[in-house]
């Protein structure tokens, strides 16, 4: 049985949710009156332009709608309404990798976003409902651009700056985006890199929808500009007025799309709403991080991921907090960089990924001791399971044994936290995300909705709709229904299945056991095996390929490829070629770590690749599964031998 850590008493006393009795009281309220709970929250938290007339509409399930006919604008929630009391408060503290800082107050943010919104409207003719792709480094202008879209009702789709030109192109086309906003480049590991040329390559083929490119100058490198298509933000922004009325948006109007990988086919454009999303972003900031008026909050994610959307931009700003945005990598100039920033900026809540914790533990275990980290109150992790070793280091060395760790389980599709400790209430156990947040009905069940016995793996489902849930997959509502509501039922009704496995322990604590589908989590980045395999298959030497996750000390999982070749190419050379292809078509995050040449892949008689077996081998585990259903059971013995180098 794992050790239990009680919340710090002093912290609990001032926390919003102070103990498990209060937690239970809230969950009872939710159970007694589900809609009433959300109604109260939405009325209390959101500054509506016009009230809604119904909380939840289930008539077109699973296309659930929330806060029907309400009108709001997310930028009013995040900026406008704070001007009265927080005009000169720092909204964003940005730190460049070179140590330079920019502090943007709520008033300055308001003006910046207004100018940017006017630029989008007046210069580029962007209207409500138009899609705008952002391909940006970690600079304040990325946040300004997101908020400028929100101000005028345009739908932003941020594409992570590590994705390749091809991946960017596919996303521009899928969203039918009119405009791309990018930067000349930025800094990483002390050296400048360029982004704009990648946009140029992306637009070379098949992006007719995209009429203009807006370039923010960050590092002032020489870049090519195409007359008429490309425009420099720094020049144009000055001409725009700093006043702009927010577009009244319906609760259900889309706020943004964010592409994520699924187990099959191309990436999915996850569509989020305006009201439900912002409500949940704010609610979780308040209760999971327990952020207070004078706190400084830091989430180390990139704005290109959902964590960056909800916990760098929308969540902190919605509650009027101060959010930190850091441009660079954690190891520059050394592995003490983040701890140094925590000391200098007196950070109160710190939120990062287990992979970063493992890395900093490994390469800089002595670093935290050099800094004063006493300002910290809450530590968070997200993106993948955290191993008890990394958890203990984080708890003791970073948190000084006095900060709760909130191990937050959620997904791009859920918009915000779903299962997480509450720092002032929940006794925590290393490696467990503990309990669903009040309002969230998360259950571990089988396909038919039967609860899974304690200690056994089951399917992690959310059995009631929640406000910040994915609304649809952009342009593919059928795929939305099939991907999320096709696998599990409760009381005969389809329920949301996360794709994750999980289990309860004897105290009802939830531990996430990882994906049950063909999605791999590398350094907290979600990758679809099918997508990578499609790319690899383009190499002329490759006859067949199957990619699985292999446990990795730092990255959590790494990519392991089993390849059947048509030629007698050597493994090392093939791996190099394959990785070049992957970098070109997806991006460096999807590079394979290892490759094994095999005579064939294990298949069922109907031709389906038995990935489970390949995963077992990659984990260096013994095969205990029944292999008699294989078309050729000898294949798996051969692969096992090759893997062991026999």
**CB under 6 A: which stretch of 103-111, 302-310, 361-369, 559-567 binds ligand WT7?**
302-310
Report the residue from 355, 408, 432, 529 that binds ligand WT7 according to the rule CB under 6 A: 408
Question: Residue 81 in contact with residue 112, Cβ under 8 Å?
Answer: no
Residues 302, 305, 306, 307: is their CA dihedral positive or negative?
negative
**CB under 6 A: which stretch of 205-213, 239-247, 494-502, 562-570 binds ligand WT7?**
494-502
Cβ proximity to ligand WT7: between 142 and 210 the closer is 142
Cβ proximity to ligand WT7: between 488 and 542 the closer is 488
d(CA 129, CA 155): 6
Q: Strand 594-597's sheet: what is its strand order?
A: 542-552, 556-565, 594-597
Binding of residue 259 to ligand WT7 (CB under 6 A): no
Cβ proximity to ligand WT7: between 137 and 308 the closer is 308
Contact set for ligand WT7, span 377-396 (CB under 6 A)? 382-385
| Angle at which helices 106-118 and 140-152 cross, to 10° | 60
Report the residue from 515, 555, 575, 591 that binds ligand WT7 according to the rule CB under 6 A: 515
Cβ proximity to ligand WT7: between 394 and 409 the closer is 409
d(CA 88, CA 147): 19
Report the residue from 82, 526, 550, 611 that binds ligand WT7 according to the rule CB under 6 A: 526
CA 176, distance to chain mean position in Å, is 22
Q: Write out the two tokens for 433.
A: 């995300």
Cβ proximity to ligand WT7: between 338 and 409 the closer is 409
What is the x/- site pattern for ligand WT7, positions 93-112, by CB under 6 A? --------------------
Cβ proximity to ligand WT7: between 269 and 383 the closer is 383
**CB under 6 A: which stretch of 158-166, 224-232, 396-404, 406-414 binds ligand WT7?**
406-414
Q: Using CA atoms in the order 589, 590, 594, 596, what is the torsion angle rounded to 10 degrees?
A: 180
Cβ proximity to ligand WT7: between 290 and 557 the closer is 557
d(CA 602, CA 633): 7
Q: How far is CA 228 from CA 124, 213, 236, 615, in A?
A: 11, 9, 14, 51
Cβ proximity to ligand WT7: between 483 and 565 the closer is 483
d(CA 7, CA 379): 12
- Could you tell me the smallest distance in angstroms from the CB atom of residue 536 to ligand WT7? 21
- Could you tell me the smallest distance in angstroms from the CB atom of residue 391 to ligand WT7? 11
* Binding residues with ligand WT7: total (CB under 6 A): 22
Binding of residue 407 to ligand WT7 (CB under 6 A): yes
Cβ proximity to ligand WT7: between 73 and 411 the closer is 411
Cβ proximity to ligand WT7: between 140 and 528 the closer is 528
Cβ proximity to ligand WT7: between 96 and 383 the closer is 383
- Could you tell me the smallest distance in angstroms from the CB atom of residue 97 to ligand WT7? 23
Report the residue from 254, 499, 528, 602 that binds ligand WT7 according to the rule CB under 6 A: 499
Strands (E), 195-292: 212-216, 230-232, 249-250, 254-260, 268-273
Contact set for ligand WT7, span 344-383 (CB under 6 A)? 382-383
> Who's near 253: CB < 8 A, 6+ residues apart?
128, 129, 153, 273, 274
Q: Strand 268-273's sheet: what is its strand order?
A: 230-232, 212-216, 179-183, 131-135, 155-158, 254-260, 268-273, 472-473
d(CA 521, CA 555): 8
d(CA 130, CA 195): 23
Cβ proximity to ligand WT7: between 360 and 522 the closer is 522
- Could you tell me the smallest distance in angstroms from the CB atom of residue 104 to ligand WT7? 25
- Could you tell me the smallest distance in angstroms from the CB atom of residue 414 to ligand WT7? 7
Cβ proximity to ligand WT7: between 181 and 459 the closer is 459
Cβ proximity to ligand WT7: between 131 and 268 the closer is 268
**CB under 6 A: which stretch of 80-88, 152-160, 388-396, 492-500 binds ligand WT7?**
492-500
Binding of residue 258 to ligand WT7 (CB under 6 A): no
Q: Using CA atoms in the order 112, 146, 255, 309, what is the torsion angle rounded to 10 degrees?
A: -120
d(CA 443, CA 481): 19
- Could you tell me the smallest distance in angstroms from the CB atom of residue 378 to ligand WT7? 15
Cβ proximity to ligand WT7: between 305 and 350 the closer is 305
Among residues 200, 211, 234, the alpha carbon closest in space to that of 116 is found at 234
Q: Which long-range contacts (CB under 8 A, 24 or more apart) does 449-458 make?
A: 449/488, 449/489, 449/490, 449/491, 449/495, 452/503, 452/504, 454/503, 454/504, 454/505, 454/506, 455/503, 455/504, 455/505, 455/506, 456/503, 457/501, 457/502, 457/503, 457/513, 458/501, 458/502, 458/503
**CB under 6 A: which stretch of 6-14, 100-108, 276-284, 493-501 binds ligand WT7?**
493-501
Number of residues written out for the chain: 646
Among residues 298, 404, 431, the alpha carbon closest in space to that of 18 is found at 404
d(CA 590, CA 311): 24
- Could you tell me the smallest distance in angstroms from the CB atom of residue 285 to ligand WT7? 15
Report the residue from 12, 521, 539, 558 that binds ligand WT7 according to the rule CB under 6 A: 521
**CB under 6 A: which stretch of 110-118, 358-366, 409-417, 488-496 binds ligand WT7?**
409-417
Q: DSSP states of 136-193 as a string?
A: --SSHHHHHHHHHHHHHTPEEEE--TTS-HHHHHHHHHHHT-SEEEEESEEEETTEEE
Strands (E), 435-530: 442-445, 458-462, 472-473, 488-490, 493-504, 510-515, 519-522, 525-528
Q: Write out the two tokens for 86.
A: 């927080």
Report the residue from 260, 323, 349, 472 that binds ligand WT7 according to the rule CB under 6 A: 260
Contact set for ligand WT7, span 410-469 (CB under 6 A)? 410-412, 433
> 283-315: string of b/e by CB count within 10 Å (b at 16+)?
bbbbbbbbbeeebbbbbbbbbbbbbbbbbbbbb
Report the residue from 182, 307, 367, 472 that binds ligand WT7 according to the rule CB under 6 A: 307
Report the residue from 247, 327, 500, 518 that binds ligand WT7 according to the rule CB under 6 A: 500
Cβ proximity to ligand WT7: between 185 and 304 the closer is 304
**CB under 6 A: which stretch of 220-228, 289-297, 305-313, 541-549 binds ligand WT7?**
305-313
- Could you tell me the smallest distance in angstroms from the CB atom of residue 260 to ligand WT7? 5
- Could you tell me the smallest distance in angstroms from the CB atom of residue 464 to ligand WT7? 18
Interface residues with ligand WT7 (CB under 6 A) are: 260, 305-307, 382-385, 407-412, 433, 498-500, 512, 515, 521, 526
């Amino acid at each position: 049985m794992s050790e239990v850590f009680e919340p710090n008493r002093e912290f609990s006393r001032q926390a919003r949710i102070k103990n498990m009795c209060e937690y239970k009281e809230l969950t009872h309220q939710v159970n007694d009156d589900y809609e009433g709970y959300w109604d109260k929250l939405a009325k209390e938290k959101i500054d509506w332009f016009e009230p809604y007339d119904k909380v939840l509409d289930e008539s077109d399930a699973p296309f659930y709608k929330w806060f029907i006919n309400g009108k709001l604008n997310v930028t009013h929630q995040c900026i406008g309404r704070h001007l009265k009391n927080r005009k000169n408060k720092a909204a964003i503290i940005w730190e460049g990798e070179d140590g330079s800082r920019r502090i943007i107050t709520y008033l300055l943010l308001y003006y910046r976003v207004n100018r940017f919104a006017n630029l989008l409207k007046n210069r580029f003719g962007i209207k409500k409902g138009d899609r705008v792709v952002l391909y940006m480094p970690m600079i304040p202008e990325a946040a300004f651009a997101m908020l400028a879209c929100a101000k005028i009702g345009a739908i932003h789709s941020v594409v992570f700056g590590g994705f390749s030109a091809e991946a960017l192109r596919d996303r521009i086309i899928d969203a039918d985006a009119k405009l791309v906003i990018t930067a000349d480049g930025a800094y990483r590991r002390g050296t400048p890199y360029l982004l704009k040329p990648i946009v140029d390559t992306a637009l070379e083929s098949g992006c007719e929808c995209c009429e203009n490119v807006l370039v923010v100058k960050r590092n002032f490198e020489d870049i090519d500009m195409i007359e008429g298509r490309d425009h420099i933000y720094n020049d144009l922004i000055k001409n725009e007025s700093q006043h702009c009325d927010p577009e009244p948006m319906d609760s259900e109007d889309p706020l943004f799309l964010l592409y994520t990988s699924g187990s099959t086919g191309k990436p999915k454009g996850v569509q989020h709403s305006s009201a439900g999303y912002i409500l949940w972003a704010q609610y979780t900031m308040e209760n999971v991080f327990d952020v207070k008026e004078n706190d400084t909050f830091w989430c180390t994610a990139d704005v290109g991921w959902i964590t960056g959307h909800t916990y760098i931009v929308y969540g902190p700003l919605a509650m009027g907090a101060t959010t930190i945005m850091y441009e660079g990598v954690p190891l520059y100039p050394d592995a003490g960089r983040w701890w140094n920033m925590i000391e200098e900026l007196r950070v109160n809540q710190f939120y990062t990924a287990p992979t970063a914790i493992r890395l900093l533990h490994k390469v800089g275990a002595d670093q935290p001791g050099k800094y004063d980290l006493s300002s910290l109150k809450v530590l968070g992790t997200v993106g993948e399971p955290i191993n008890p070793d990394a958890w203990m280091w984080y708890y003791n060395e970073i948190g000084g044994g006095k900060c709760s760790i909130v191990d937050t389980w959620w997904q791009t599709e859920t918009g915000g936290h779903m299962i997480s400790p509450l720092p002032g209430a929940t006794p925590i156990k290393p490696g467990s995300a503990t309990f669903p947040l009040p309002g969230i009905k998360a259950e571990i069940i089988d396909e038919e909705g039967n609860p899974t016995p304690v200690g056994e793996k089951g399917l992690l489902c959310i059995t009631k709709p929640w406000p910040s849930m994915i609304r649809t997959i952009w342009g593919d509502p059928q795929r939305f229904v099939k991907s999320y509501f096709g696998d599990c039922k409760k009381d005969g009704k389809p329920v949301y299945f996360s794709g994750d496995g999980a289990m309860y322990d004897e105290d009802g604590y939830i531990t996430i056991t990882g994906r049950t589908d063909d999605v791999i989590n590398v350094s907290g980045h979600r990758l679809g095996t099918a997508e990578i395999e499609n790319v690899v298959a383009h190499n002329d030497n490759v006859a067949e390929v199957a990619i699985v996750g292999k446990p990795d000390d730092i990255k959590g999982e790494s990519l392991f490829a089993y390849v059947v070749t048509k030629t007698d190419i050597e493994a090392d050379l093939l791996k190099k070629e394959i990785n070049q292809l992957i970098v070109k078509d997806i991006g460096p995050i999807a590079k394979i770590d290892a490759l094994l040449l095999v005579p064939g892949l294990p298949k069922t008689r109907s031709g389906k690749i038995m990935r489970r077996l390949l995963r077992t081998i990659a984990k260096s585990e013994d095969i205990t599964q029944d292999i008699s259903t294989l078309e050729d059971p000898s294949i798996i013995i051969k692969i096992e031998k090759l893997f062991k180098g026999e």
